[in-house]
A and B are shown apart, each in its own frame.
Chain A
Amino acid sequence: MLRELYARLRAAARWKRNESDLDDEIQFHLSEEVDEQVEAGLTPKEARFAAARDFGNVTLVREAARDVWGWAFVERLVQDVRYTFRTMRRHPAFSLAVILSLALGIGANAAVFSLMNAVMLRSLPVVEPERLAIFAHQGAGDPQTGSNYPIYETLSREGRSFAGVLGFWQMPMKLRVGGATFSLDGQYVTPNYFSVLGVRPALGRMLSDADAASDVAVISDTLWTQRFGAAPDVIGRAVVVNGVPVTVVGVHPPEFFGLRPGSSIDISVPLALQRRMAPEFGDRLALREGTWGLCIVARLRDGVSREAAGVEAEALIRPWVKEVGMAQSSRFGSWARIGLLDARSGLDTLRRQFSRPLWLLMAVVVMVLVIACANIANLLLARSASRRREIALRASIGAGRSRLVRQLFTESFVLAAIGGLAGLLLATWAARLLVVFLSGGTRLVLDVDPDVRVLSFAAAITFGTAIVCGLAPAFRATKLELNASLKEHAATVASDVRGGRLRRLLVAGQVAVSLLVLIVASLFLRSLTNIRAVDPGFDGDRLFVVSFDRFGTGYRGERLTAFYKQSLERIAAIPGVQAASLSSVTPVSGDESTRAFNTPGYTGSAPDDHVVRINAVSPRYFETMRIPVAEGRAFSDRDDAKSPNVAIVSRSTARHYFGERSAIGATFRLGRDAVGPPIEIVGVVGDTRQADLREAPVRMVYFPLEQVQQSDIVIEVRAAGRMVGVVDSIRGAVAAVSSDVPIESIKTIAERVDDVLVQERLVAILSSLFGLLALLLASLGLYGVVNYAVTLRTGEIGIRMALGADRSSVARMILRDAGLVVAVGLLLGVIAALALARTLADMLFGLEPVDAGAYLIATATLLVVAAIAAFIPARRASMIDPVLALRDQ
């Protein structure tokens, strides 16, 4: 290190000496030459001139000599960079404009890419992640990963394609430390979980097969640091999780977050502990029929393809599916196909949800960068025109063309590098902001800090930008007639006309691309508006939803029900509350619970025909939600466990199963084999869109909560007037019942809608933002071109005015020019948008991708801004004083 520094210093010192040596040497040569010429009879002045002429270009000689030192490249680079900084200081506004547009363009790209990287590209931090595969089954919908313990046992015992098979079930847990309770992201795992993944302990040990029945836990680095102060003696310590004491045996490394990107596992315990830690789920290991949240991940044996292993898995599991009749009882026939999915990046829930919006945003930010590039190329072109004299001068004192091109390139590289660095800083910050935005109401843990991939991406686009921006201007600027450029102004006009054409074309392209981005943005904005405008079938105004975090609290069964009922009573008694109710389905959450509906006289044909969604509710539910009761009655307090079983159905349910007949008084049974007790329908209520506003109303069946026990309950609260203070009163009311069950959240329906629509909002907001940025950049480009044209044509305008043209006709002339550019751009933009329309179709709600409204909004916005950008220089043109203009020529 020191030696290297010394060597560099010495080289630098030698460099300086060489430099002055060379100067002295040349000076000496010249003076010798002069002496000689004087001896030959010339006057000293003539002699000096002759000597200089004889010697030739001093700079070239110097450079050629320096080449020999082997330093030429570095030296030129340093010189060019230094020159660039000098130029930048001389034109601060220009440099700032370039750097800012680059920083925004590159920053937007790097930010979206960081997110893509974190969501889609990053592999799990485990050994050979590419050999991991996840067991999945699929029907008409997305692949499902929920399976059960017998499947795990079969695969791990009989599978020949696997080097190891693990299972895990992610569940919230409660950690009790010194009287305080903390919510954790936990998971129940098969004891071989860490060894199959190849995760090494950061401290202590990971689980082993011997731990199958022990009360042990492995904790995360985060939990270790935050709750245990990173104390090494945490190993062996007993902690209470969900009321069960377990011994901490190890800490897994900080980079390991589990197998589900977007979440971060705090604690892992053996699967066998589920029976005691979450008794409300029964003994899941013993469950032979049906599936639950167990995910099975296999490590493929060397040389075994995922497809081959999938075929084996299918062969092993298919008999069980037939035996228990899985295919008939699940929606969309979800066991139609069985196979293995790539798991190198973990579970793909997040990837599935966000990959299309992210690709779309990536495309949008690339377009923004293209516009920014066009702008910079434009600025550089304009400047290279104004630098013509400087460049001609440099060329005439001995700079070769390649040298000048290199100089101009260095300038764009330095600008791009600064812009790129600023952009990267911007991106790190923006990507974190995006994660916060994406997480909506849930906890989303995503590492978006730049890694090698993000850095290389940023570097690549920075250099790409530099080349794209610098190429045309550099070559155009150096292709010139020296004498003409040095001497006169008139000759430059011809080459400016050529440059002007290129610049106009660039601006037309910018207009086209920004129109495209604006159209995409307005499509998504309109789509979002459409979704929000959907009538959900209930009144979301001043409605709060209170949800609880009950896992691991020890509350279950009667005790839990009592807790909910008492909380409801207290909340309903709050003065500002108009009505309150309990329900097992959270409004606008995507939750759903399905059952098979069987009524005499109905036989469906489609696989879905018998499926209804159920909701268990308290008597005042329909009143609180303001769901109209169309026929019959709502539930009352008399519908309890001792009274006959009753239900209320939605209009769609009634229509689907009973057609024109009245559903009131009809009976049905639940379940595939219709073995349950008969249930009488006592009322028909309006349709709602509870799970997803975008879906058509689903067939709902409501039951009295008293007759159908449910553990996961939310409380709906309708505020009477002002909403302020209601949240605090609700918290107080629940705390008065018990502080053991923490409130997870109290959110208005509007907030819940926002959470559900996070994808749509992300795309709509960001594309609008980028659309405006694109528009701003494009209008700057337009302004620049028109303004420059006015400057060039000052003389011509002067003559026109002198010959009698009035101001408005001059302004019209300039505007006509600009209008042509914009028109060409608009045409290209619309063509591009039409060509891309189909790819957007299924991301839009309630409108066609060729939506006249969206196209009009985008075009109008663009026209207004473009008009302003063109009007300013046009006005300047009309203000030209013909006398001054002609005198300047």
Chain B
Amino acid sequence: MPPDKSRIELLQGTLDLLILRTLLFGPSHGHAIAKHIRRLSEEVLQVETGSLYPALHRLEAQGWISSAWEISDKGKRAKYYRLTKTGKKQLVAEQSKWEQLSAAMARVLRPAE
């Protein structure tokens, strides 16, 4: 894939937040999660499969999401991930942390406004 300067590599840890946020809309499989993030970020955020699946497994190991094999809309077997209760709490915490961080970043980067 040719490097595209408009695309941004995800920051360490932000992928987890994006996945949790995506799953808030309901259970989804890996491919759909990647597509969702790409689409909502207007193709700016690229989710590498090499990070996506390890992240999913890590989140599952931490108990924030759970997984089950289900039949997809197209009738294929797919592994669906869904947010757990602790996952939701985690999402809220992560999100507020992120908002604080980005607000702080913005204040530092553009002090004039």
Are A65 and B76 CB-contacts (below 8 A) given A28-B31, A32-B31? no
Q: Are B50 and A60 in contact (CB under 8 A)?
A: yes
Q: Which of A43-65 contact B (CB under 8 A)?
A: 53-57, 60-61, 64-65
From B35, B53, B72, contact of A65 by CB (8 A): B53
**Per-residue contact bits, chain A 159-185, to B (CB 8 Å; 1 contact, 0 not):** 000000000000000000000000000
Determine the distance from Cα of A33 to Cα of B78 in the docked complex, in whole angstroms.
13
Residue A281 CB within 8 A of the other chain: no
Q: Which of B49-91 contact A (CB under 8 A)?
A: 49-51, 53-54, 57-58, 61, 69, 72, 74, 76-79
Q: Are A67 and B54 in contact (CB under 8 A)?
A: yes
Task: Give the contact stretch, choosing among A19-27, A296-304, A560-568, A580-588.
Answer: A19-27
Query: At the interface, is chain B mostly helix, strand, loop or mixed?
Result: helix
Determine the distance from Cα of A36 to Cα of B32 in the docked complex, in whole angstroms.
11
The chain A residue with its CB closest to the CB of B55 is A68
Residue A157 CB within 8 A of the other chain: no
Residues on B with C-beta less than 8 A from A54 are 1, 49
Q: Which of B30-50 contact A (CB under 8 A)?
A: 30-32, 35, 48-50
Residues on A with C-beta less than 8 A from B1 are 53-54
Residue A35 CB within 8 A of the other chain: yes
Q: Are B54 and A28 in contact (CB under 8 A)?
A: no
Q: Are B53 and A26 in contact (CB under 8 A)?
A: yes
From B29, B48, B61, contact of A28 by CB (8 A): B29
Residues on A with C-beta less than 8 A from B61 are 68-70
Query: At the interface, is chain A mostly helix, strand, loop or mixed?
Result: helix
From B30, B35, B49, B57, contact of A68 by CB (8 A): B57
Q: Are A25 and B30 in contact (CB under 8 A)?
A: yes
Q: Are B53 and A61 in contact (CB under 8 A)?
A: yes
Q: Are A28 and B49 in contact (CB under 8 A)?
A: no
Residue A31 CB within 8 A of the other chain: yes
Q: Are A61 and B58 in contact (CB under 8 A)?
A: no
Q: Are B79 and A24 in contact (CB under 8 A)?
A: yes
Q: Are B49 and A56 in contact (CB under 8 A)?
A: yes
Residue A29 CB within 8 A of the other chain: yes
From A33, A36, A64, contact of B53 by CB (8 A): A64
Q: Are B58 and A55 in contact (CB under 8 A)?
A: no
Determine the distance from Cα of A800 to Cα of B61 in the docked complex, in whole angstroms.
67
Residues on A with C-beta less than 8 A from B69 are 24
* Contacts between chains A and B (CB distance < 8 A), count: 60
The chain B residue with its CB closest to the CB of A22 is B53
Determine the distance from Cα of A70 to Cα of B79 in the docked complex, in whole angstroms.
21
Q: Are B53 and A21 in contact (CB under 8 A)?
A: no
Residues on A with C-beta less than 8 A from B35 are 36
Residues on B with C-beta less than 8 A from A21 are 79
Q: Are A68 and B50 in contact (CB under 8 A)?
A: no
Q: Are B30 and A29 in contact (CB under 8 A)?
A: yes
Residues on B with C-beta less than 8 A from A36 are 35
Residues on A with C-beta less than 8 A from B74 are 35
From A25, A56, A67, contact of B48 by CB (8 A): A56
The chain A residue with its CB closest to the CB of B34 is A29
Residues on B with C-beta less than 8 A from A32 are 29, 31-32, 78
Q: Are B77 and A65 in contact (CB under 8 A)?
A: no
Q: Are A68 and B31 in contact (CB under 8 A)?
A: no
The chain B residue with its CB closest to the CB of A69 is B57
Residues on B with C-beta less than 8 A from A24 are 69, 77, 79
Determine the distance from Cα of A25 to Cα of B69 in the docked complex, in whole angstroms.
9
CB distance from A326 to the nearest CB of B (A): 82
CB distance from A292 to the nearest CB of B (A): 78
From A33, A56, A69, A70, contact of B50 by CB (8 A): A56
The chain A residue with its CB closest to the CB of B30 is A29
Residues on B with C-beta less than 8 A from A67 are 54
Residues on B with C-beta less than 8 A from A31 are 76
The chain B residue with its CB closest to the CB of A50 is B1
**Per-residue contact bits, chain A 453-473, to B (CB 8 Å; 1 contact, 0 not):** 000000000000000000000
Determine the distance from Cα of A29 to Cα of B1 in the docked complex, in whole angstroms.
18
Are A25 and B76 CB-contacts (below 8 A) given A32-B31, A33-B31, A68-B61? no
Determine the distance from Cα of A53 to Cα of B49 in the docked complex, in whole angstroms.
11
CB distance from B53 to the nearest CB of A (A): 5
The chain A residue with its CB closest to the CB of B62 is A68
CB distance from A579 to the nearest CB of B (A): 94
CB distance from B67 to the nearest CB of A (A): 9
Determine the distance from Cα of A307 to Cα of B74 in the docked complex, in whole angstroms.
91
Residues on B with C-beta less than 8 A from A57 are 50
Q: Are A64 and B30 in contact (CB under 8 A)?
A: no
Q: Are B50 and A29 in contact (CB under 8 A)?
A: no
The chain A residue with its CB closest to the CB of B50 is A61
The chain B residue with its CB closest to the CB of A21 is B79
Residues on A with C-beta less than 8 A from B49 are 26, 29, 54-56, 61
Q: Are A65 and B31 in contact (CB under 8 A)?
A: no
Residues on B with C-beta less than 8 A from A65 are 53-54, 57
Residues on B with C-beta less than 8 A from A60 are 50
CB distance from A159 to the nearest CB of B (A): 69
Q: Are A64 and B54 in contact (CB under 8 A)?
A: yes
Residues on B with C-beta less than 8 A from A33 are 31
CB distance from A828 to the nearest CB of B (A): 52
The chain B residue with its CB closest to the CB of A30 is B31
The chain A residue with its CB closest to the CB of B31 is A32
From B29, B31, B50, contact of A64 by CB (8 A): B50
Determine the distance from Cα of A55 to Cα of B47 in the docked complex, in whole angstroms.
10
Q: Are A68 and B79 in contact (CB under 8 A)?
A: no
Determine the distance from Cα of A68 to Cα of B52 in the docked complex, in whole angstroms.
12
Q: Are B76 and A68 in contact (CB under 8 A)?
A: no
Q: Are B48 and A68 in contact (CB under 8 A)?
A: no
Determine the distance from Cα of A60 to Cα of B53 in the docked complex, in whole angstroms.
11
**Per-residue contact bits, chain A 631-663, to B (CB 8 Å; 1 contact, 0 not):** 000000000000000000000000000000000
CB distance from B32 to the nearest CB of A (A): 8
Residues on A with C-beta less than 8 A from B31 are 28-29, 32-33
Residues on B with C-beta less than 8 A from A28 are 29-31, 72, 76-79
Residues on A with C-beta less than 8 A from B57 are 65, 68-69
Q: Which of A434-491 contact B (CB under 8 A)?
A: none
Are A25 and B50 CB-contacts (below 8 A) given A32-B31, A35-B74, A68-B58? no
Residues on A with C-beta less than 8 A from B29 are 25, 28-29, 32
The chain A residue with its CB closest to the CB of B59 is A68
Residues on B with C-beta less than 8 A from A53 are 1
**Per-residue contact bits, chain B 1-25, to A (CB 8 Å; 1 contact, 0 not):** 1000000000000000000000000
Q: Are B53 and A25 in contact (CB under 8 A)?
A: yes
Determine the distance from Cα of A219 to Cα of B88 in the docked complex, in whole angstroms.
77
Determine the distance from Cα of A612 to Cα of B77 in the docked complex, in whole angstroms.
105
Determine the distance from Cα of A28 to Cα of B78 in the docked complex, in whole angstroms.
6
Residues on A with C-beta less than 8 A from B54 are 61, 64-65, 67-68
Residues on A with C-beta less than 8 A from B72 are 28
Determine the distance from Cα of A22 to Cα of B58 in the docked complex, in whole angstroms.
13
CB distance from B1 to the nearest CB of A (A): 7
Determine the distance from Cα of A70 to Cα of B54 in the docked complex, in whole angstroms.
11
Determine the distance from Cα of A194 to Cα of B105 in the docked complex, in whole angstroms.
80
Determine the distance from Cα of A28 to Cα of B67 in the docked complex, in whole angstroms.
15
Determine the distance from Cα of A68 to Cα of B1 in the docked complex, in whole angstroms.
26
Residues on A with C-beta less than 8 A from B51 are 64
Residues on A with C-beta less than 8 A from B78 are 25, 28, 32
Residues on A with C-beta less than 8 A from B58 are 68
Determine the distance from Cα of A738 to Cα of B63 in the docked complex, in whole angstroms.
92
30 A-B residue contacts at CB 8 Å?
Answer: A21-B79, A24-B69, A24-B79, A25-B29, A25-B53, A25-B78, A25-B79, A26-B49, A26-B53, A28-B29, A28-B30, A28-B78, A29-B31, A29-B49, A32-B32, A32-B78, A35-B74, A36-B35, A55-B49, A56-B48, A56-B50, A61-B49, A61-B53, A61-B54, A64-B51, A64-B53, A64-B54, A65-B53, A67-B54, A69-B57
- Apart from A32-B78, A56-B49, list 18 A-B contacts with CB within 8 A: A22-B53, A25-B30, A28-B72, A32-B32, A33-B31, A35-B74, A53-B1, A54-B49, A55-B49, A60-B50, A61-B50, A61-B53, A64-B50, A64-B53, A67-B54, A68-B61, A69-B61, A70-B61
| Pairs of residues from A and B, 3 with the lowest C-beta to C-beta distance, nearest first | A32-B31, A68-B57, A64-B54
